[in-house]
Structure 1
Amino acid sequence: MIEVNELTKRYGRVTAVNGLSFTVSPGLVTGFLGPNGAGKTTTLRMLLGLNTPTSGTVSIDGRPFRELPRGLRQVGALLDAGDVHRGRSATAHLHALARGNGIPRRRVAEVLEEVGLAEVARRRVGTFSLGMRQRLGIAAALLGDPPVLLFDEPLNGLDPEGVKWVRGLFHRLAAEGRTVFVSSHLMSEMEHTADQLVVIGRGELIAAESLTEFATRGTRRSVSVRTPDITTLVAALAAEGASVTTEGDDGCTVTGVDARRIGELARRHDVALEELVTRRSSLEEAFMELTADSAQYQAGESR
């Protein structure tokens, strides 16, 4: 279990993390979300003792990481896939980590096989693609078979097969009772991967709840409509002030008018409806809405 209590980190006049408190429980995949500059990486670094908090506490299974003997046996982490000696082979890199943490050498071959790098184990890391370096970083996190795992943007550079593999890996690790904490900016992937979410903005907590609970906090609703007389219905909806996006020759997505009103308009204009489904906000839509005031960098409209 990971426990963060009133965690604050300041760099001069800049407050990167401000009074942050949350818990990450075992047996679940917990996504760690926030806009760029929200303080996610700073928080992860404080979890691992790489940055010292200005105030507050952070513990892993009741103890600060720096007090844990042979850290890789307790916590596995991937923070930066590029933070590897590029002249070493994958095997040499993992052997060095294993020696420093009292991990048997046989474990190196096991994790390289697990992440799909066994055939390139003796190649220099400098020749690896970003996706291969991500796999090597995941192998390093798994090396000590730890109960707690932290991953910062682990999907960067992975192809679709790699993304599917990582998603399955996280679910398996959580099913084994481990604590899995994953930072990512890919909302579509978190929607398929995370059970719980911790969402921050400008270093402060926005939400700590299940993915379903967070998504339902978004107020945006849309209605999916399918009809053989799409032209008539779109005209009626436009006159009503609705926003309509057509989809093919017989479908559209409607916002600004609810399903009941769409049904009334269809009856008034003798339009037969084949589908009328209200859809709630997606995770991405809820995230964009609830973190809008916390985004550090926002693009303006083109002029």
Structure 2
Amino acid sequence: MIEIRDLTKRYGRTTAVDRLTLTVRPGHVTGFLGPNGAGKSTTLRLLLGLHRPTSGSTLIDGQPFAARRRGLRHVGALLDAGDVHGGRSARSHLRALAASNAIGRSRVDEVLGEVGLTGVAGRRIGGFSLGMKQRLGIAAALLGDPPTLLFDEPFNGLDPAGVRWVRELFRRLAAEGRTVLVSSHLMSEMEQTAQHLVVIGRGELIADESLAEFATRSVRTQVVVRTPDPTALTVAVREVGADVGTAPDGSLTVTGLSPTALGDLAFTRGIPVHELITRSTSLEEAFMNLTADRVDYRAGEDR
């Protein structure tokens, strides 16, 4: 279990993490979401003792990570797939990690096989693609068979088959009772991978709930209707307290009425309806709306 309490990290005048408090529990994949610059990577580095907090604390299974003598046996992490010695082979890289944590050499071959790198284990890492480096980073995280796993943007560089494999791997690890925290800015990936979501923006907690709770709270359902008398239907919808807007193609978008209620309303008012469609916003749209005022970097804006 991961416990973060009132965690703050400042770099000069910049606050990267701001009084963040949350608990990540074992048994399910927790997606750690936020726009670029939200403080996700900083939080992971604080968890691993790579940065010192300005204030607050972090515990992994009841202890600071720095207190663990053989850290890979307790926490496995992939923060930067490119942060490896390019002149080493994949096997020698993992053997060095294993030796430093008193892990047997046989485990190296096991994790190389699990991530699909057995055939290239003797090649230098400098010649690996980003996707291969991601697989090697995951192998390193699994090396000590730890109960807690942290991954920062693990889907980058993977082909579709690799993305699917990683999703299934994370779910299996969580089902084994491990704590699995996966940082990403892509709601589309977390929708298919995580069961619980933690969302931050500008270092502050925005949401901490199950994926189902997030969907129920954040996804809006609208009804798109076409009618030859949009003015009369607009008046009728507003009279019953629902919201209505007009799309560029002339159709009406109604929020606050079910399709059945809207159809019944049009029938009782004698307003003909030619089309009635239910449309829900995606979880990605819900995430974008939730974090809209916490985004520091926007493409296409004047500077």
What TM-score results when the alignment is normalised by the length of structure 1?
0.87
**Equivalent of residue 271 in structure 1, options 255, 269, 274:** 274
Name the counterpart of 1:60.
60
Name the counterpart of 2:241.
none
Q: How much identity, in percent, do the aligned residues show?
A: 65
Q: Distance in 2 between matches of 1:132 and 1:209?
A: 33
Q: Distance in 2 between matches of 1:71 and 1:180?
A: 16
Name the counterpart of 1:249.
none
Q: Distance in 2 between matches of 1:101 and 1:55?
A: 30
Name the counterpart of 1:40.
40
Name the counterpart of 1:23.
23
Question: Deviation string for 1:73-97 (max 9, x for gaps)?
Answer: 0000000000010111100100000
Displacement of 1:168: 0.3
| Aligned residue pair count | 287
Moved over 6 A (4+): none
Name the counterpart of 1:250.
none
Unaligned runs of 5+ in 1: 226-232, 247-252
Q: Distance in 2 between matches of 1:120 and 1:70?
A: 28
Name the counterpart of 2:171.
171
Partners of 2:191 and 2:211 within 8 A in 1: yes
Structure 1 residue 195 corresponds to structure 2 residue 195: yes
Structure 1 residue 114 corresponds to structure 2 residue 114: yes
Q: Distance in 1 between matches of 2:63 and 2:11?
A: 25
Q: Distance in 2 between matches of 1:236 and 1:68?
A: 71
Q: Give secondary structure in 2 for the equivalent of 1:285.
A: helix
Amino acid paired to 1:103: I
Cα gap change, 1:154 to 1:264, in 2 (>3 Å): same
Partners of 1:224 and 1:254 within 8 A in 2: yes
Displacement of 1:243: 4.8
Cα gap change, 1:278 to 1:117, in 2 (>3 Å): same
Q: Give secondary structure in 2 for the equivalent of 1:222.
A: strand
Displacement of 1:254: 6.7
Q: Give secondary structure in 2 for the equivalent of 1:183.
A: strand
Cα gap change, 1:158 to 1:183, in 2 (>3 Å): same
Partners of 2:227 and 2:275 within 8 A in 1: no
Cα gap change, 1:237 to 1:78, in 2 (>3 Å): farther
1:1-303 equivalences in 2 (<5 Å): 1-218=1-218, 220-223=220-223, 233=226, 240=234, 242-244=245-247, 255-257=253-255, 258=257, 259=259, 260-261=261-262, 264-265=265-266, 268-269=271-272, 271=274, 276-277=277-278, 279=280, 281-300=281-300
Displacement of 1:132: 0.5
Displacement of 1:60: 0.3
